[in-house]
Chains A and B, each alone.
Chain A
Amino acid sequence: MTAVRCVDLCKTYCQGDQDIKALDHVSIEIAESGFVCLSAPSGGGKTTLLNAIGGLDIPDSGEVYVAGQRIDNLSKGALAELRLRQIGFVFQAYNLIPVLTARENVEFVMQVQGVAAADRHEKSTAILKEVGLEGLEDRRPAEMSGGQQQRVAVARAIASKPSLVLADEPTANLDSKTSDELMELFTHLNEHHKTTFVIATHDRRVMKYARRLIRMLDGRIVDDIDQRAA
């Protein structure tokens, strides 16, 4: 069973009189419980690809399948439902709701899903501890460092145990030790819960954890390496 399948995706942005191909005939297939890193120089199309997979952005052409279901022709409501139930997101630029505390941010998705309060509380406590934020549960984003905020975002993405996690630079603001801890947590989830991870990153340390490394350049896939052999 494939977790994610992209067929011939294209996405072009117009900037002034220039057409920028953010995705240029991209086709990939990611197996269930895959652990994939997307690596590309800045502007290479990582975020655009993740957004297409997550149903946040509709490609100009091509097809996207998540868990076997074609999603690029779904309605907005159906896409929202898909994101809510099946996908955990760590966004690159903006992740936390400012008026909610760390715990409430982590619980947000579960709350919208309708998970009971006691259950949520238990899960958020455990997950915040795992990402090393024990004791900071009641802080608001403005009262936390960039790295701490990043970890809250990661905690939220995995708290509801989605089948697919799309993480855009999840370790951007973290020191190497914390990055390692986080990647180990991802690996653990990947192995024990069969969660599929697609992680966009520049970070070589992160790439080491991936079983598969996809390199992109100017919207094209230039390299697709199975790292398990290595």
Chain B
Amino acid sequence: MHLFGVLFQLAWRNLWRNHRRTIIMLGAIGVGVWAMIFMTALTRGMVDQMVTDSIGILPGHVQIHNPDYLDDPSISNRISYTDTELRQKFESAGFESWASRVRVPAIVTSERDSRGVTLLGVDPVAEKDISFFDYAEVEGRFLSDSGDKGIVIGGKLADKLETGLGKRIVIMSQDPDNDIADRGFRIVGLYSANTSAVEEAYAYIGKSTAQAMLGIGDTSTEVVFLGTEYRNVEPVYEAVAERVDERVSVQRWYEIDTYLGTMLGVMDGFVLVWVIVIFLALSFGLVNTLVMAVFERVREIGLMLALGMKPGSILGQIIIESMLLLTLGLATGNLLAWATIMPLRDGIDISIVGEGMEMWGASSMLYPKLYLGDMVLASVVVLLLGFLASLSPAWRASRYEPVEAITKA
């Protein structure tokens, strides 16, 4: 490998021969790579938040249901395990957190207006880590225990119903026999969420209270499990699956919320496309720089060939030069991206431009997420495609005829 030393030395010297051109090219690659990573971090941040928010509200990471519930999410299709059985199965199984819930559609009526909501009967203690809002930030208070007689709704829903803290509202739903089950509640707390759609959608009551109101004994409609990472739910899935039988079906969050699941997949693809598109723009500059460099050096390349250097070494030399340029550009770009994303860790307020984003479930604060994996992806793509793009100029250089090159006046 003694040749590599010579080739590297020549490549490095040649790179700095035309300072200005190299620096301009480095700038272009740097900015390009910065754009790749910065945009990716913003996208990741947005999707991440959408997913975590939505998972917090809806599915957790893994859920179990009565198999029939999936087609017909009604109170009749409850999980056939009782609360006691569920506790026996999952209490000491080492999940981050888990909770069983009663979830039914319901009508909420104030003295002014009525709305359809999703009624959640929850155990506030078990639900604490799963909940998408902080109990302490609830205006008023959150439910104290499973038997709490109060109700907690979103601030936005209270506005719509023209009601407020301390007022009474009536909840109406159906019991398993399709009879009306209703009950009056006093509003004890108002929660706030990232989006008003969420604030309007969910009403929380104690789980025992819900079970009593609906006459369903000590059964629930869903059990939610949370692991550590939404991108890696397999361990949780397997742990749950091995503890239940065929009377329930186990699902991952992206099987429950297929929209979010698809979105995440699309975003991963989008990141790659974005990186490649920017690279293509860069590649014109890169190839042009190399073609110029090779063209300017016809004579010395010819000289090296005449002295007995193999065409393959000339090819290697140009490729090394290109890789050096790209590596420096990548370092610049990655550093730039890191330096610009770090100060924005605490979020960018996009409420001015972001009103319309709410309907996709995005919030008005954007937290860029810099993933090592994305930086590596961008770097690998740039190096790989850069290698391919340099092949043609490098090949051309290696085909020079030594006599022509050295005798040209």
| Structural contact, A76 and B311, CB atoms closer than 8 A | yes
- Per DSSP, chain B at the interface is helix
Q: Tell me which of B5, B303, B407 contacts A111 (CB under 8 A).
A: B5
- B297-328 near A? 1/0 per residue, CB < 8 Å: 00110111111111101000000000000000
Contacts A112-B3, A112-B6 given; indicate if A93 touches B407 (C-beta within 8 A): yes
Closest to A81 in B: B308
Q: Which of B9, B17, B408 contacts A93 (CB 8 A)?
A: B408
A97 touches B403 (CB 8 A): no
Binds B, one of A82-90, A123-131, A197-205, A220-228: A82-90
A-B interface pairs (CB < 8 A), number? 75
* Seed contacts A84-B309, A94-B302; 16 additional CB < 8 Å A-B pairs: A80-B308, A80-B310, A84-B307, A84-B308, A89-B306, A92-B407, A93-B407, A94-B300, A94-B405, A97-B10, A99-B10, A99-B13, A104-B9, A112-B3, A112-B308, A112-B313
- Min CB distance A61 to B, Å, is 18
Q: Which of A56, A76, A96 has the most CB of B within 10 A?
A: A56
Given A93-B407, A97-B300, A99-B17, A111 and B306 contact (CB-CB distance below 8 Å)? no
Interface flag for B109 (CB, 8 Å): no
Distance of A84 Cα from B3 Cα, bound (Å): 13
- Shortest distance between the CB of B260 and any CB in chain A (Å): 56
Interface residues of A in 63-92 (CB under 8 A from B): 76-77, 80-85, 87, 89, 91-92
Number of interface residues of B (CB under 8 A): 29
The answer for the CA separation of A93 and B303 in the assembled complex, in Å, is 10
21 intermolecular pairs with C-beta atoms under 8 Å apart: A47-B407, A54-B306, A56-B403, A83-B307, A83-B308, A84-B307, A89-B306, A91-B406, A94-B300, A94-B303, A96-B303, A97-B10, A97-B304, A99-B10, A100-B13, A108-B304, A108-B307, A109-B307, A112-B307, A112-B308, A112-B309
Residues of B within 8 Å of A41, CB to CB, are: none
For the complex, give the distance between the alpha carbons of A56 and B405 in Å.
11
Interface string of B2-17 (1 = CB under 8 A from A): 1101100110011001
Complex Cα distance, B10 from A97, in Å, reads: 9
